[in-house]
Structure 1
C-alpha cells in the first residue's frame, strides 16, 4: 500500500471517529480551509451520519475570502494568528461548537517568506483555540494530505477533551 493510500485510509477512519464523538456530544463541527482546499470537508462529509453533526465550512483559498468571510486581519496570511482567526471566524459565523482551520504553503516554492511545507492548524471550541505549526516535506499533494491528517487528529483530540 502506498503512503498516500495509507494516509487516505487514516483520514477516513479519523473522520468516522470524529463523527462518533460529535454525535455523542451533540456537537456541530465546522472547517475553514485554505491550503487543503476542501480536503477536510470532503472527509467529514463522507463520514457516516455527517448531516447530523457536520455544519460545513468555508474554503477560503484567496486572501480576500479570508478577510471578508472569516474576519482575518488584512495582511500576510501564512501565520498561526491567521489560522486562529479562521478557526474563530468560522465557529462564530456558523454558530458551531468545534472548528478546525488550515493555512500554509503547499509548494513547490516559498510564499510570504515561508518555505513549502510550512503549515498552521488551529482547532477551536467556544472556550479555547489551539494552534499548531508544522514543517512537512514532500510534494504539494503530500503536504495537503499530511495537513488534512494532522488537522483531523487535532479535531478528534479537542472532541475527546470536550467529552471528559
Structure 2
C-alpha cells in the first residue's frame, strides 16, 4: 500500500470534519503505531474540540491493565476490538479506533511482519479488520496509520447512521 504522510494528513482532516459535523468525540488506542495515529489526528483541524486523546499500550501488560484486554494473543481481532472499547470507556468517547500487529522485521505470536488488526468501537459495538502490509517496518507503520484513519471514518459514518 505504501502511503505518504500527505495521505494520512488528508485522512485526518476528513476525520476532523466528520467529527465536527456530527458532533462526535474520538479516542485512540495504539500498540503497533506507538503514538503515530493520535499524532496525526492531533495535527488535524480543531482537534481540541473532538479528540479525547489516546493510549499507547505497547506492552501487553498495559493492554490488560489500562484497556481491559483479556488474556490471549495480542495480535488478534479480539485484542483490537477490546482495545478500542477500552479506550472509548476510559476517555468517554463516542468513537474509538485501535491498532495492534507486527511491524517487523521479525514474526511475533506466529504472525508474519505486516500482519495488522484495526479495531473500532462505536455505539456499543466493536468490529475489526485484518490487513497484511508489505515492506520495511516504517512502511508498515505508515500503512497502518492510513488504514486506521480509514476505518475510523467508516465507524464515524456508522455512528451517524445509528444516531449515536
Equivalent-residue separation in structure 2 for 1:127 and 1:71 (angstroms): 15
Aligned residue for 1:55, secondary structure, equals strand
The normalised TM-score by structure 1 is 0.94
Corresponding residue pairs, total: 161
TM-superposed deviation, 1:123: 1.3
8 Å CA contact 2:123–2:159 kept in 1: the answer is no
TM-superposed deviation, 1:25: 1.2
CA deviation profile, 1:37-94 (whole Å, cap 9, x unmatched): 0111000000011000000010000111101100011232111100011010001111
Equivalent-residue separation in structure 2 for 1:49 and 1:24 (angstroms): 12
Aligned-pair Cα RMSD in Å? 1.3
CA deviation profile, 1:127-153 (whole Å, cap 9, x unmatched): 321210011110000100001100000
Aligned residue for 1:47, secondary structure, equals coil
Select the residue among 36, 39, 42 that pairs with 2:36: 39
Aligned to 1:77: 74
Any gaps of 5 or more consecutive residues in structure 2? none
The normalised TM-score by structure 2 is 0.94
Equivalent-residue separation in structure 2 for 1:158 and 1:86 (angstroms): 15
8 Å CA contact 2:32–2:99 kept in 1: the answer is yes
Aligned residue for 1:103, secondary structure, equals strand
Any gaps of 5 or more consecutive residues in structure 1? none
Question: Would you say 1:139 and 2:136 are equivalent positions?
Answer: yes
